[in-house]
Amino acid sequence: MSKKYKTAGSIERLDPAINSLIPEGAEIEILASGFDWSEGPLWLESQSALIFSDVPANKIYRWSEKDGLSVYLEPSGYFGERRDKKEPGSNGLTLDNEGNLILCQHGLRQLGKMRSGLENPEETYETLADSWKGNKFNSPNDVVIHKNGGIYFTDPPYGLDPWDEKELEFQGVYRLLDGELKLEIEDLYRPNGVALNPDHSILYVAQSDPEMARYYEYKLSESGEVQEGKILLDVSHLISDERRGLPDGLKVHSSGNVFATGPGGVLVISPIGKILGTILTGQATANCAFDADENYLYMTADMHLMRIKLK
């Protein structure tokens, strides 16, 4: 039986279809608080635990129902001498097809892999990619793995500090496969969250541009190459003082519906781009993740780690 946690926010139900995903009476629970900016939640089935980044604190935390909150990895994205970097830590996290922890590391401006196993984490990292044609990345932000092993990741400038030398004039979405890096998308401004649909035929990308706050979908070839794309949904008109946040992290449910952070919290979007409802967290919400059986949706919302029960 789960512990009793404080609750917050509400569920906005715009279409009856949301009731098949989020049961009536479901509450948004606050599992832990006090973070600078929580991000990148990832469920570790082997540990029945969630790990997530606190980007400014340069840490990854671990939370489980059994053990509560603890520091999982520190430092997580930067181990240089500067102590005045605003967002030095890891951001997006995922597991590759061999079970290795893959990290988007702001401070190092790279896509990295933790060298040790998940059970005994160590702050030693292998660089998977850190530049495009000799020019250093901006700050890799979010990441997802294709069934063929291809790693898609975004590279907006959110982790750059004023003294960091910007070396790229665009903000790309890349794919790394068998050691070969390919620039798949280069015409988005502030590409942020990335996710794949259940059969890995569509790549979703969130764009955190307040003037063009959008979610895009791109068809993929059998081998995972990005083909034609289109706007799935524009939510620029939803941004307000009451509904804080921009399109950021997103995950795709086994039903094909997209759970996407954005104005107000987490929007539940059908595969044809219809908003079924919104999990109104009351916070600017960075990312979300399901547990292995989709019993819960975990949400990193500014200073909080939250969750909501699913059907």
Residue 123's CB is within 10 A of a number of other CB atoms, namely 15
What DSSP designation does 127 have?
E
pLDDT over threshold 60, residue 245: yes
Q: What percent of the chain has pLDDT above 90?
A: 96
pLDDT digits (tens, 9 = 90+) for 5-16: 999 999 999 999
pLDDT over threshold 80, residue 311: yes
234 alpha-carbon distance from chain centroid: 19
| Res 163: pLDDT | 82
| Res 187: pLDDT | 97
What average pLDDT does range 37-50 have in this prediction?
98
What average pLDDT does range 282-303 have in this prediction?
98
Tokens of 138: 């901006």
pLDDT over threshold 90, residue 201: yes
Q: What percent of the chain has pLDDT above 70?
A: 99
* Residue 275, phi then psi, degrees to nearest 5: -80, 115
pLDDT over threshold 60, residue 178: yes
Interatomic CA distance for residues 33 and 153, integer angstroms: 28
Tokens of 233: 């949904």
**CB 43, CB 292: distance < 8 Å:** yes
| Res 214: pLDDT | 98
pLDDT over threshold 70, residue 146: yes
140: cis peptide before it, omega within 30°?
A: no
pLDDT averaged over every residue in the chain: 97
Give residue 27's pLDDT band: very low, low, confident or very high (50, 70, 90).
very high
Residue 280's CB is within 10 A of a number of other CB atoms, namely 20
pLDDT over threshold 60, residue 1: no
| Res 83: pLDDT | 86
- Single out the residue of 96, 44, 97, 102 nearest to residue 77, CA to CA: 102
Alpha-carbon distances, residue 235 vs 17, 126, 242 (angstroms): 20, 37, 14
pLDDT over threshold 80, residue 2: no
| Sign (positive or negative) of CA dihedral 224, 46, 112, 213 | positive
Give residue 250's pLDDT band: very low, low, confident or very high (50, 70, 90).
very high
Tokens of 243: 């509904």
What average pLDDT does range 136-146 have in this prediction?
98
Amino acid at 75: P
Write the secondary structure of 145-204 as one string of H (helix), E (strand) and C (coil). ECCCCCEEEECCCCCCCCCCCCCCCCCCEEEEECCEEEEEECCCCCEEEEEECCCCCEEE
pLDDT digits (tens, 9 = 90+) for 66-116: 999 999 999 999 998 888 899 999 999 999 999 999 999 999 999 999 999
Interatomic CA distance for residues 255 and 271, integer angstroms: 9
What average pLDDT does range 206-218 have in this prediction?
97
**CB 301, CB 286: distance < 8 Å:** yes
Q: What domains are defined for the chain?
A: 6-309 (2.120.10.30)
The secondary structure element, H or E, covering residue 307 is strand 304-309
